[in-house]
Amino acid sequence: MAGNLIEFKDVSFRYSEQDPWVLKNVTFTIKEDEWVAIIGHNGSGKSTIAKLINGLLFPQEGEILIGGKKVTEDSIWDIRKDVGMVFQNPDNQFVGATVQDDVAFGMENRGITREVMVERIQSTLEAVGMSDYQFTEPHRLSGGQKQRVAIAGVLAISPRVLILDEATAMLDPNGRKEIMQTVSQLQSKQGLALITITHDLQEVVQANRVIVMNKGEVWKESVPREIFTEKEELRKIGLDVPFVTTLADALKDIGVSISKEPLNHEELLEELWTLHLRT
């Protein structure tokens, strides 16, 4: 069985003593090969969790362990080697003069050799569909393209956990799908942990597990199918549910019996097909 990579033990955080708690007694674990989606309304504390994981912020109460190591001022440089993060706004994280310089930046900081760098620049740019832009300057890229470069730069340092903090929010649907396919393949092939902080329901249903945040607390933690059975509750805390689960409910309301909460089109069609054979 895979071990725990990330442990939050009773973590509370606030920006100053006058401010309200952003996180309150948050406890969870993430395994080293797991894909966890963190969802919640704006201001629910999702991004704070990401910033605590790589020591951009430190909690006032509780402790955070990454690979068994406690996150402290002293350990953050080690820990950041294991944690790759991609944020929402691509303009705030593009540092290179060209695409390949940008991908190389993280590797340079880690003293990776030139041969390996050249190889990883190629492979990661290919993985995010940006191979044709290796020598392009950032101001000539669209927001979505910059974001794909940022993801390539993070993948190039081969971290143990990849955190996407609403990193696909600005991509178009297909770009989003490609990125999610790429990272999920990487996640399963390399035994990488993946944390996606997102509002995108397609990303949520693909995850192994979902942590729902509400007002700084863990509201619920479960597999996606279980989470989406509580539609009314989810809507109340400002979240949405997938189209198929809404349609399944509408069908139930008019007397069509649906036994299993469907997570995608195929599952609902399969349910209806079984029903159709029985009648």
Among 27, 172, 229, 260, binds other proteins (CB under 8 A): 172
Rule CB under 8 A: say whether 179 interacts with other proteins: no
Amino acid at position 156, single letter: A
Give dist(CA 3, CA 66) in Å, integer: 11
Distance of CA 118 to the CA centre of its chain: 27
Rule CB under 8 A: say whether 191 interacts with other proteins: no
Rule CB under 8 A: say whether 97 interacts with other proteins: no
Among 169, 208, 217, 222, binds other proteins (CB under 8 A): 169
Rule CB under 8 A: say whether 98 interacts with other proteins: no
CB of 261 to other proteins, least distance (A): 16
Q: How far is CA 136 from CA 51, 128, 182, 216, in A?
A: 30, 15, 22, 41
Rule CB under 8 A: say whether 88 interacts with other proteins: yes
Give dist(CA 279, CA 261) in Å, integer: 21
Rule CB under 8 A: say whether 217 interacts with other proteins: no
User: Quick one: tokens of 137?
Assistant: 């300057």
**Contact present, 219 and 41 (Cβ < 8 Å):** no
Q: Which stretch binds other proteins (CB under 8 A): 36-44, 48-56, 65-73, 220-228?
A: 36-44
Q: How far is CA 198 from CA 37, 39, 65, 144, 271, in A?
A: 7, 6, 23, 16, 29
Among 93, 145, 187, 206, binds other proteins (CB under 8 A): 145
Rule CB under 8 A: say whether 41 interacts with other proteins: yes
CB of 65 to other proteins, least distance (A): 29
Q: How far is CA 122 from CA 83, 116, 271, in A?
A: 22, 10, 44
Among 56, 74, 95, 173, binds other proteins (CB under 8 A): 173
- 3-state percent helix, strand, coil for the chain, nearest multiple of 5: 45, 20, 35
Among 190, 229, 246, 274, binds other proteins (CB under 8 A): 246
Rule CB under 8 A: say whether 238 interacts with other proteins: yes
Please identify, using beta-carbon distances, which residue of 29 and 88 lies nearer to other proteins: 88
CB of 273 to other proteins, least distance (A): 7
